[in-house]
């Protein structure tokens, strides 16, 4: 991947000709884009990528033979993978998309202003020069997309104090409010555990850095107190939470949110 001052080289992939034409037209109108190549099938896209370099690939998800998520996973294994943006009519694949390193997730029909936001992210990820030797891939789950009223906003993990399960969704309790995201809490725990989020209860995760104190409730249960409220701690998880808090305190990690 080697973006240049002349603009981005972009590959658009969609098996629906009309949708592919619309996407290519929007991309060609974008000032950040220098060259747009269209592929009407994922295998065609794979051959094009093997034969040339692209700064970014805009991928549909629902395609026959090899879907966009599978193609995206293959692309991430390349020595110099292109930046991936998914374009789809369905919002339920967002977690998987960000899990494989996509920088954005656009819902059809794509609006020009949302495309501009995606291209801004692509541009930041496609440096004009060779990346530094110690370059590490972006943390794709450092923010979660929240769809509301036809708009997408991103809730940053560092602003989330605790997470509450709500069926197939989770409620993110953050300083900017409570946000509902379609994802099981067990999946989010996998993504955020290494960032200091700990399971305290079957239905709750808490950021270690957000815990101000442990206190007892009226019936002798344990609560983890945060500035946004108390999080229940089950007996099963109490010991691990205390140990994690102690280690975090020893390392000076409780003064600020993860």
pLDDT tens by residue, the chain, 258 residues: 444 446 899 999 999 999 999 999 999 999 999 999 999 988 888 888 887 789 999 999 888 777 888 888 888 878 788 999 999 887 777 777 777 788 899 898 899 999 999 999 999 886 544 444 444 444 557 888 787 777 777 888 999 999 999 988 899 999 889 999 888 898 888 889 888 899 999 999 999 999 999 998 878 789 999 999 999 999 999 999 988 888 877 776 665 444
For domain 153-250, give its CATH number from 2.40.50.1020, 3.90.1170.50, 3.40.50.1820, 3.40.140.10.
2.40.50.1020
Q: At what angle do helices 17-29 and 112-125 cross, to 10 degrees?
A: 70
Whole-Å CA distances, 50 to 2, 44, 75, 78, 212: 15, 10, 10, 9, 52
Annotated domain spans of the chain: 8-125, 153-250
| pTM value > 0.75 | no
For domain 8-125, give its CATH number from 3.50.50.60, 3.40.190.10, 3.40.50.2300, 3.90.1150.10.
3.40.50.2300
């Amino acid at each position: 991947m080697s973006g240049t001052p002349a603009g981005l080289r972009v590959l658009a992939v969609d098996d629906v000709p009309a949708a592919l034409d619309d996407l290519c037209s929007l991309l060609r109108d974008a000032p950040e884009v220098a060259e747009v190549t269209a592929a009407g099938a994922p295998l065609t896209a794979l051959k094009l990528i093997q034969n040339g370099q692209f700064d970014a690939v805009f991928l549909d998800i629902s395609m026959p033979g090899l879907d966009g998520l599978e193609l995206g996973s293959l692309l991430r294994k390349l020595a110099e993978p292109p930046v991936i943006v998914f374009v789809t009519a369905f919002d339920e694949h967002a977690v998987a998309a960000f899990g494989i390193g996509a920088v954005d997730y656009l819902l059809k029909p794509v609006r020009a202003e949302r495309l501009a936001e995606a291209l801004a992210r692509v541009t930041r990820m496609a440096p004009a020069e060779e990346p530094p030797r110690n370059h590490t891939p972006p943390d794709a789950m450092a923010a979660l997309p929240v769809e509301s009223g036809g708009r997408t906003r991103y809730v940053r993990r560092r602003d989330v104090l605790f997470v509450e399960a709500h069926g197939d969704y989770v409620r993110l309790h953050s300083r900017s409010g409570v946000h509902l995201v379609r994802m099981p809490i067990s999946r989010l725990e996998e993504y955020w555990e290494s960032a200091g989020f700990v399971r305290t209860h079957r239905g709750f995760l808490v950021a270690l850095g957000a815990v101000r104190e442990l206190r007892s409730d009226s019936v002798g249960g344990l609560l983890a107190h945060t500035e946004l409220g108390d999080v229940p701690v089950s007996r099963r998880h109490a010991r691990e939470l205390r140990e994690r808090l102690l280690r975090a305190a020893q390392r000076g990690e409780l003064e600020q949110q993860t």
